[in-house]
């Protein structure tokens, strides 16, 4: 089913502005695609000019239809969370009382306390990100 989108002169002007001046490149690309659509270009040509697939272009159109320009500006990056994150508070308390000498020691204590095994580099990143403890030489 083909969906007809309406573009008022005000919306076209906003698309024109945002396609160059929005701080997020993904949003700029969305605005560019819809700006071209507002000028009546066919999907195949818009996809080629903007470097996106026709399916992606259809997704941009659905976003616009669902919420207008403001919906095009919403960006939701996937940021997976570590399974250790649910234990951050208890691990912080434990390491405050019993600071580990090395990452390997921290790795073993985390495995014993939570049952979650992670590589040394993952443990180092988790501890550093959560400001749990800092031992000289941890990087």
CB–CB of 65/5 below 8 Å? yes
Q: Which two tokens stand for residue 15?
A: 């698309």
Integer CA distances (angstroms), 16 to 22, 61, 72, in order: 10, 16, 14
pLDDT for position 136: 46
Q: What is the pLDDT of residue 2?
A: 59
Give the containing element (helix H, strand E) for 123. helix 120-129
Is residue 139 within 8 Å of residue 124, measured between CB atoms? Answer: yes
Grouped pLDDT means (10 residues each) for the chain, 139 residues = 82 95 95 96 96 96 94 88 89 89 92 93 89 61
Please report the pLDDT score of residue 134 as a whole number. Answer: 61
- Indicate the domain borders of the chain: 9-72, 83-129
């Amino acid at each position: 089913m083909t969906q007809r989108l309406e573009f008022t002169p005000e919306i076209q002007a906003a698309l024109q502005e945002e396609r160059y001046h929005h701080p997020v490149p993904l949003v700029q690309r969305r605005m560019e695609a819809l700006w071209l659509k507002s000028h009546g270009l066919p999907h195949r040509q818009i996809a080629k000019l903007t470097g996106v697939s026709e399916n992606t272009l259809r997704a941009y159109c659905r976003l616009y239809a669902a919420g207008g320009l403001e919906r095009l500006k919403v960006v939701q990056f996937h940021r997976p969370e570590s399974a250790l994150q649910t234990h951050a508070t208890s691990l912080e308390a434990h390491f405050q009382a019993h600071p580990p000498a090395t990452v390997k020691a921290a790795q073993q204590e985390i495995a014993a306390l939570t049952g979650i095994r992670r590589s040394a580099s993952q443990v180092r990143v988790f501890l550093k990100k959560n400001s749990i403890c800092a031992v000289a030489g941890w990087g």
